[in-house]
Amino acid sequence: MAMECLSWFIHKYLFHGPLWFMHKSHHQKAKSFFEWNDLFAALFAVVSLFLMYTDRDNLGYRFFIGLGITLYGLIYFVVHDWFVHRRFKTFKSNNTYLQAVRKAHKVHHKNRGKEKGKAFGLLFVRKNLIKKD
């Protein structure tokens, strides 16, 4: 839960702020499989591995912060890259929650610019986006 909140903050205030020069590739039509925005995943992986490595002997708070970043990164990859953006075409679901996640992300991508964005999170979605049967 903490990682989702931190991710929302980073996305809204850094990615759509001073780091827009890299993140904007994610809001444009893809020219290749990789985009500049993918460098953020590599950066977070390095940070998490560093934290886990430096605290590997006593498994203190740094190790578990690194583990949390890693686990959130894995969830992010599966939900965001694989399911929402279909970078790999093998994961489809009619699950109501996952469809709401996809819809919220479409709301975010409706605005292709740096300003006036909405729905900066990934896993928390507004109730009005959840389809009622």
Domain boundaries defined on the chain? 1-92
For residue 76, give every residue at least 6 positions away whose Cβ sits within 8 Å of its Cβ, in sequence order, or none: 7, 41, 122
pTM, two decimal places: 0.76
Whether the per-residue pLDDT at 114 is higher than 70: the answer is no
pLDDT tens by residue, 26-62: 777 777 777 887 888 899 999 999 999 999 999 999 9
Q: Is 39 helix (H, G, I), strand (E, B) or coil?
A: helix
Q: How many CA atoms lie within 13 A of 57 on its CB side?
A: 1
Burial of 85-114, coded b for 16+ CB within 10 Å and e otherwise, reads eebeeeeeeeeeebbbbbbbbeebeeeeee
The C-alpha atoms of residue 54 and residue 74 are separated, in whole angstroms, by 21
pLDDT tens by residue, 55-106: 999 999 999 999 999 999 998 888 877 877 777 777 778 878 788 888 877 7
Q: Which residue has the higher pLDDT, 3 or 70?
A: 70
